[in-house]
Structure 1
């Protein structure tokens, strides 16, 4: 599957020339011109939308509020502007129409984008849809636009691993519903479904790399709006892939205006470390048993801080024999990381007439991460155009090309190349900068620094010698034809494609501790998805107060994925990366294809602009299920009632609506789970290729589609003429027939059996409250407040008669796992606990050490999913100045921090200081007395907090533990025996975003060649306002999979400060 970029360039060029050639084609009409102002301050309004009602003919006002439009006598001109009440004027004989628009804070006619890209009035919807404007995303100056949604949309949980700007993002809408699926929404870009699969972001218990996912590559400056379709009723028309919700992204398009508009946006941000290592001790240095390291052998304990008390006046050898002071080093870990930076420049050209519109943009993004050597460069090109022919035919299309290159993505979790993991264990007297000077010798060989621990590689070797690069080329586009049979009936045909190629190389030179002979990994992935659809639309005012809108259509979706993985070992010539330079090579090739055929339809009824009813249906036929079981039909029904239309007095309650919906959505399986799969081996016999069955799971030809049944009720209320707005929703969703792998005895020849099993329920409440406490039109000062709140209650109601737990993720240490457990919430953290008395105190044995439960006694220790979330923003405006702040709050999740567990094992945690002096004094006395440890009664040491049983097992009697022990042995046991002590509350509150902006007034702009100039200053992730976990960011995690709640060797989180300039002319 090869992408021909030469043909692509020719096609794009032809498309641009055709559009420009027809750009001025338009019908002859009377010219109507005028000026539009704001009634509040009598200032001109630039950007007012002016459209001939019932047609596609329109324009917008310029910087002075002036406009010109071609109209015919008797036609109605509609003037509309965001935040203003729309006005309609019927054209008579006048050629000049001036008017003033008044503020409309009620916004009752708000229009949002819904399924299939159809724009509808929000008051008519029977389900929840939240729309976020593109300006809210671009102002945030995030490399990944989706991250900017955090805290802004009720019901949406966004999390990112600590891989930085090149990493992936996990988005979950209304809770986890799938055991084996991704639990992430379908992304639809301008009507084209986008593959959001990750290339390898499962940095699990043994570590790995986050290679990003698809949605992270979009240019925020090209986004017009984002609509979040939350429930099954909202997303049912998109079929099985929309069972976890849909995020619709609409990109910017050309507008009707005089001439060609030019827009330039430049952003720059600087990134610094946000995390603080605030619970590390600076009392004791490297070594063991309180002994000062005096030899090179002892100095190899650079990642162990059980040595003597620090004294900067004492000189000790380090790993390479140099003598260094034995004193504490300030900001030791933080000094490894640099100041990162991101610079983005976007230039766009746009324009249009009544018959044709076009917008083209080019962007360049350059990022340097805080991890040395890590960087990202992204270039995008977008062209979006439409052309109307003969008043009945409209042709529109889009091509979006993205090229992204990433150098040296950071390793995560337990990967030996993870610099975070290496740095976290460094003793407080060992300056990590010493490693930068001596990580290799004069011949280029690796220099051991930590006693031969090959799984903790010198971080400077990792960032300077180990190389990984990736390149992604992506094209998203469509071509659409609309034909209007009449004002009531039209047909739409569309072909859309999403194609990308991904190339990744990871090179380890000769001498790398884990692969001393050198190694390389090459990954090549090609992915495509093509959608062909037709849609018939009908819209008719049947009676003066009754209207009907109906849609009916079909879709053919074809997708494929081609994976090629090659591994080489034993390098022949140094520093030559291609796999042909390695003596041993292995290759794996995989090909996946899938097709879904669909028929769908929708009907919408409206009566008196008060009562609204919607009904949808869809039937999918999937190639990944066998005939007879591959057809699944689902429907939705929703309605709303605007009861405020029946209120005589609307002074207090300006608007009121109740809504409700019921729906079901189906889901299919991944390809090739129905029958045996075969492949060729790397060797042959008698010159013939050898083959084998590649399945590790027993195939199941009788798999049934997954089904989700849901209902939702809610209300929309506006008070005091729209000054206070409240949206509340309650939802309840049940997902059944989960498709998962059941572990079976290996004697069967397989590891798992693929079955239908499992039932998960999500129910919860969403609340969005916004208010305008101050809106002084005289002074130009306003204050807007927005609060959104989400509480989701999840339960795994049923799994299978043979299993009561299903593993989602496993930890590196102490046997902890994350499970879906029958009767519990999704994502519980499970492991051994410490034995406790009835009062909850840890029971210690006679030797003074804590006693874990039996290995088979696995208990629920926490849950990695937050119970509730809240976002709070305040926006103040004064004339052209704006100030906005967003606080993001999540409560109720837990996290197993293996980074902190490692700090206790290595003696770098503050709590490990207690009892050391007393133990070392006791040991000194014991040695002086010549007594063995077995015969000696310690005179001091660490006394574990808890109790000891002085009675019997049958009749226990607990007293306070008073047995002093070696602190080093005590805390090492905590890491190895149970994860319980290192399960922390992962609740947090962050100042997620702070923005100060200024837009020059029209009185100044009119004297310049520009239409508008705006400047903004932005800070992201400015402060952690609340956290209950030391040393790591509570958002930390090492992948974006279903098993959330583990972190290990996490890289620091980042805060950013930046500025943006936007020029239009």
Structure 2
């Protein structure tokens, strides 16, 4: 069969097969033929309107409009019966069920034939029994009737109602009514219809059973949720949209729900930082639309409420702690649907917030006519730190300098950061605390310090519904402990959803979400200072970890006992634990959405919606008295050191919108149009205060301090800002004969932050789709085919500050008794500032073949960002230091590919496999200055890294990493000075004239991101695994640099092994005369320090490529088992699941580290690795019970 040949299941000569295998193959082919005929019958849609005609007249209509022919015995099948039938776009199989309902005729599809035959009389039908008055047993049959509706309360005609385990079945009529006589007691009815999820219901003793079927968006007529929450047939959409299977959010549970989608959606790049429990997640759709500094995360729309991701990740500053993001409000068990709108056209209706695409999320509201139900989910996850440092750490030489171990406590305290001592020999040697211990390697100090992380989440949900409406209320509690001691994360989520039909035409939808988060002691990462990772990775391994714990505090001064020569830079984490260094962040957030929709007619409606988003944050932290110092006093003041900060922020966003929609068909033509408007007001305020120089040591409060003034220029005790955007928009869709669709959108935004004389921007889009499979109906192998294309222009107000377009004023301290005012700050306002613009073109092809056993979706896009908002340095003569202008531009283009295949599918077993890949090419077009390059961040100065820069350079890919490199001659040989020491590139190096010797080494943005997902189902058992990958990006490693220059890495062993008396740089020549280098550098500590001092990055530049076995999961549905237990009949569902995440790294370029171990979800530190927490392998076990 052609299908199998294309799928590669059977190929001549592929293997030798025996008789049994041949017979199985023939049976398998026959099953596929049968399945193909059945699926084609579902694909074939009928529109019939005939009244009071013989049955054969309907049959003739079917034969005339489809490829099917009827085959039957005229003596056994009555075709003269008068019928009336009116259906529209109903599957052929369902039409036949309606046509022959309550008759003695059955039908079977065989290829292109419909075989009619009399229904078989059941002779062994079990019957229910009751006692008559004379004690004789009389057998009677139980009858059940009812109505089948969809979730909107509309009847569904043609639903198949079958008694499970028998051939006894009927179909619903045009009003969704059915009636069936059961053949056995305790019967189970199966309700199924194309486009809806199959449902099994136990009858019991009921004589009336009403059922609600939910839409199945994975059917041939897939429904997707698009902008403004509008549901549309996927075939009508002219841009790339991915409907996420919400089961993927719970297969391998994570604290942040979006992390579960890693590697599963083409074009969606998710990178969770290694930043502790409750950390944020980096999310990018089709790359970065803007330079770092502006938001590059997609817009999230939850129940119609647009919110930014709001990642509060470590960025090289701000205490280096990740405090999570707005997506922590999402409980995956509450999510009903999730749709990823990838391109600008998909999100264009959101105007100035659509530059990065959008993710549309709706939460559950229960089901009509459901009755009361309870579902409970309990999940526990354990996290275990993975050790890759063994790949690069040397264990031959111990603490010391110049090839000598420390001889005194003072020497031990001064050299604790260096491993240029003697070879390990186990001889007792003095440590930093004055105690002598064996001079032996202790390579697992960091992992001995860390602990097993845990995450316990319990969710309970209550739902119910009747013919008027439905509701769902849930509570979820998360209690997590990070792998670093003292790091804890608590989260409580209350979620309520109500869907109520006030009248037949008026519907009310209410969604409320309240979240309380406590982020306790998130780890300090991305810095070489006080973090635990930096401490253990940068100290010699001669000292056992117990010494650091037992001797953290100096018994004389009470301060931190000195452990190394980097006083105040590398701090003992046990001192922080024992002295109670704390950082506590408490957040409360309320999201509310109320929607009213009035259906004037079946084609006209008006909808109004009000959204409210309110959040408060209270943060407090301290800096320890005596940390990194030998005294507890602040100079000669007599007051104790340390600092205490408190900060409270409040954000309030109000969104209100309306939408007037109409849809109408005119013969083969259809029109669907909407007009609406939105107003969004955002307000932010912040209060902060700090104190230091304490009267009582270790008592951290504002009043205990003697200095509370804002004596730091950057410290702003109070901030307030507010802005508003008003919008009007329209959408129009024109369709022709289920074949061709054309869509237009337009949105006008008015900004309060722009110049009032020119404060509006118009954002248009156009898209179209051609369902070419409608033109190829005779091709049985083609199930569905669509060609689509789109163009859009959207924008982003990110980067345009609230008060950057007008002068800001401040009240100064009184002068001569008079209050004075002046211009605030040194930032020149720019009244011409505009939101940047993103223009995107896209074309795509989608095909499903062989009864949807094979599917692929390809999308190519080209996205250009112009008028990027950039900081510009001004002349001192202007009176200002800098300003913002619309200058920069950049380009993203790419190709997204999705392939889905079902190689094996039987009644009990199915294997489905999905591969997705996103290729991305970026280019900086303009940086707005004559040099053609823009320095974004110099990695020295934000965390004392001394390695590289992040730049945007015209003609190069975005996020370009720069380092100095070995200075070379024209032949590529490394140049050294007369002492054999390294030389670095400088301002005279070609290509580095404008960058002070720094040269581009690659972009941090990967070119290929993808995943291969496989799912195996056998009856009630499900197993899946995911392999994902990333290729084409570059990264710089500060860990490699510091371990080398301090003697901890294997690379630093060159020159001190047996028989070596120093380092001679390979393939090097003297710069002075060009002769081969023969000088061995014996001062190894200075030699390896040159890499940092000169910022030579060659040995520390790696590809960020990897291939990972990301996750495996196993689940078993025990519902059938418990339903057969008399005492557990009340249990409607029971599922046990187990999973493992971050199972294995199958390939990586960088040794000693996980290439994903980034420290920030922002873009400022893109491609720079420094002291992130180790990656964890996570094991999860969960239980789900429904009552």
Q: Normalized against structure 2, the TM-score is what?
A: 0.79
Aligned CA distance change for structure 1 residues 62 and 447 (closer, same or farther; 3 Å): farther
Q: Is the 8 A contact 2:576 2:624 kept in 1?
A: no
Q: How does 1:73-92 map to 2 (within 5 A)?
A: 74-76=174-176
Tell me the equivalent position of 1:4: none
Q: Does 1:51 align with 2:172?
A: no
Tell me the equivalent position of 2:603: 488
Displacement after TM superposition at 1:666 (Å): 2.7
Displacement after TM superposition at 1:1002 (Å): 2.6
Q: Does 1:297 align with 2:410?
A: yes
Q: Aligned partners of 1:319 and 1:384: how far apart in 2?
A: 60
Higher relative contact order (CA 8 A, sep 6+): 1
Q: Does 1:393 align with 2:506?
A: yes
- SS at 2:618's partner residue? strand
Q: Does 1:150 align with 2:262?
A: yes
Displacement after TM superposition at 1:577 (Å): 2.9
Aligned CA distance change for structure 1 residues 622 and 378 (closer, same or farther; 3 Å): same
Deviations 1:441-474 (A, max 9, x none): 4574322111361111111123442111010000
Q: Aligned partners of 2:233 and 2:260: how far apart in 1?
A: 25
- SS at 1:902's partner residue? helix
Aligned CA distance change for structure 1 residues 64 and 354 (closer, same or farther; 3 Å): farther
Aligned CA distance change for structure 1 residues 202 and 701 (closer, same or farther; 3 Å): farther
Tell me the equivalent position of 2:37: none
Q: How does 1:715-754 map to 2 (within 5 A)?
A: 715-745=845-875, 748-754=878-884
Q: Does 1:335 align with 2:448?
A: yes
Q: Is the 8 A contact 1:796 1:821 kept in 2?
A: yes
Displacement after TM superposition at 1:167 (Å): 1.6
Q: Is the 8 A contact 2:150 2:213 kept in 1?
A: no
Deviations 1:489-513 (A, max 9, x none): 1100010011110111111232123
Q: Is the 8 A contact 1:871 1:889 kept in 2?
A: yes
Tell me the equivalent position of 1:247: 359
Q: Is the 8 A contact 2:403 2:421 kept in 1?
A: yes
- SS at 1:420's partner residue? helix
Q: Does 1:700 align with 2:830?
A: yes
Displacement after TM superposition at 1:565 (Å): 2.5
Q: Aligned partners of 1:735 and 1:588: how far apart in 2?
A: 36
Aligned CA distance change for structure 1 residues 612 and 965 (closer, same or farther; 3 Å): same
Pairing partner for 1:967 from 1078, 1084, 1088: 1084
Aligned CA distance change for structure 1 residues 547 and 83 (closer, same or farther; 3 Å): closer
Q: Is the 8 A contact 1:109 1:121 kept in 2?
A: yes
Q: Aligned partners of 1:62 and 1:251: how far apart in 2?
A: 29
Q: Is the 8 A contact 1:774 1:783 kept in 2?
A: yes
Aligned CA distance change for structure 1 residues 287 and 72 (closer, same or farther; 3 Å): closer
Q: Does 1:1048 align with 2:1170?
A: yes
Tell me the equivalent position of 2:42: none
Q: Is the 8 A contact 1:184 1:244 kept in 2?
A: yes
Pairing partner for 1:947 from 1068, 1074, 1077: 1068
Deviations 1:764-792 (A, max 9, x none): 00001111000011xx1111101000001
- SS at 2:516's partner residue? strand
Tell me the equivalent position of 1:186: 299
Q: Is the 8 A contact 1:1005 1:1013 kept in 2?
A: no
Q: Aligned partners of 2:217 and 2:508: how far apart in 1?
A: 36
**Range 429-438 or range 724-733, more displaced:** 429-438
Pairing partner for 1:1005 from 1123, 1127, 1130: 1123
Q: Aligned partners of 2:1051 and 2:491: how far apart in 1?
A: 45
Q: Is the 8 A contact 1:127 1:660 kept in 2?
A: yes
Q: Aligned partners of 1:836 and 1:1034: how far apart in 2?
A: 29
Q: Aligned partners of 1:103 and 1:758: how far apart in 2?
A: 46
Structure 1: 4+ residue segments shifted above 6 A:
57-66, 81-87, 95-106
Q: How does 1:905-1054 map to 2 (within 5 A)?
A: 905-917=1045-1057, 940-949=1061-1070, 952=1073, 957=1074, 959=1076, 961=1078, 963-977=1080-1094, 978-1002=1096-1120, 1004-1007=1122-1125, 1008=1128, 1009-1043=1130-1164, 1044-1054=1166-1176
Displacement after TM superposition at 1:647 (Å): 1.1
Tell me the equivalent position of 1:830: 962
Tell me the equivalent position of 1:880: 1020
Displacement after TM superposition at 1:341 (Å): 0.2
Aligned CA distance change for structure 1 residues 656 and 145 (closer, same or farther; 3 Å): same
Q: Aligned partners of 2:160 and 2:511: how far apart in 1?
A: 25
Aligned CA distance change for structure 1 residues 916 and 603 (closer, same or farther; 3 Å): same
Aligned CA distance change for structure 1 residues 707 and 915 (closer, same or farther; 3 Å): same
Displacement after TM superposition at 1:152 (Å): 0.7
Q: Normalized against structure 1, the TM-score is what?
A: 0.88
Deviations 1:714-773 (A, max 9, x none): 010112111010000000111111111112345644332211111111110000111100
Deviations 1:694-720 (A, max 9, x none): 334321001133211111000101121
Displacement after TM superposition at 1:104 (Å): 10
Tell me the equivalent position of 2:542: 429
Displacement after TM superposition at 1:207 (Å): 5.8
Q: Aligned partners of 1:564 and 1:197: how far apart in 2?
A: 19
Q: Aligned partners of 2:435 and 2:811: how far apart in 1?
A: 55
Q: Aligned partners of 1:444 and 1:377: how far apart in 2?
A: 33
Displacement after TM superposition at 1:691 (Å): 5.2
Q: Aligned partners of 1:98 and 1:631: how far apart in 2?
A: 53
Q: Is the 8 A contact 2:151 2:214 kept in 1?
A: no
**Range 131-140 or range 569-578, more displaced:** 569-578
Displacement after TM superposition at 1:438 (Å): 1.1
Aligned CA distance change for structure 1 residues 430 and 56 (closer, same or farther; 3 Å): farther
- SS at 2:407's partner residue? coil
Q: Aligned partners of 1:639 and 1:762: how far apart in 2?
A: 22
Pairing partner for 2:809 from 672, 678, 684: 678
Q: Aligned partners of 2:282 and 2:373: how far apart in 1?
A: 36
Aligned CA distance change for structure 1 residues 485 and 101 (closer, same or farther; 3 Å): closer
Q: Is the 8 A contact 2:1065 2:1077 kept in 1?
A: no
Q: Is the 8 A contact 1:837 1:958 kept in 2?
A: no
Q: Is the 8 A contact 2:510 2:594 kept in 1?
A: yes
Q: Aligned partners of 2:1021 and 2:150: how far apart in 1?
A: 34
Tell me the equivalent position of 1:785: 913
Q: Does 1:321 align with 2:452?
A: no
Tell me the equivalent position of 2:926: 798
Tell me the equivalent position of 2:139: none
Q: Aligned partners of 1:189 and 1:1010: how far apart in 2?
A: 31
Q: Aligned partners of 1:202 and 1:694: how far apart in 2?
A: 29
Aligned CA distance change for structure 1 residues 428 and 76 (closer, same or farther; 3 Å): same
Tell me the equivalent position of 2:1010: 870
Tell me the equivalent position of 2:1186: 1064
Q: Aligned partners of 2:402 and 2:793: how far apart in 1?
A: 64
Unaligned runs of 5+ residues in structure 1 are 1-32, 41-47, 88-94, 922-938
Tell me the equivalent position of 2:703: 580
Displacement after TM superposition at 1:99 (Å): 12
Q: Is the 8 A contact 2:892 2:921 kept in 1?
A: yes
Aligned CA distance change for structure 1 residues 275 and 701 (closer, same or farther; 3 Å): farther
Q: Aligned partners of 1:818 and 1:573: how far apart in 2?
A: 44
- CA-atom RMSD in angstroms: 3.1
Aligned CA distance change for structure 1 residues 273 and 745 (closer, same or farther; 3 Å): farther
Q: Aligned partners of 2:539 and 2:575: how far apart in 1?
A: 16
Q: Is the 8 A contact 1:883 1:994 kept in 2?
A: yes
Q: Is the 8 A contact 1:423 1:432 kept in 2?
A: no
Tell me the equivalent position of 1:649: 778
Give the number of equivalent residue pairs: 984
Q: Aligned partners of 1:984 and 1:902: how far apart in 2?
A: 15
Tell me the equivalent position of 1:710: 840
Q: Aligned partners of 1:699 and 1:658: how far apart in 2?
A: 47
Pairing partner for 2:338 from 212, 222, 226: 226
Tell me the equivalent position of 2:77: none
- The structure whose Rg is larger is 2
Deviations 1:880-919 (A, max 9, x none): 111111111001111111111000011000121122156x
Q: Aligned partners of 1:638 and 1:888: how far apart in 2?
A: 32
Q: How does 1:56-67 map to 2 (within 5 A)?
A: none
Q: Is the 8 A contact 1:419 1:462 kept in 2?
A: no
Deviations 1:1010-1046 (A, max 9, x none): 1110011011111122111122220122322223111
Tell me the equivalent position of 2:460: 347
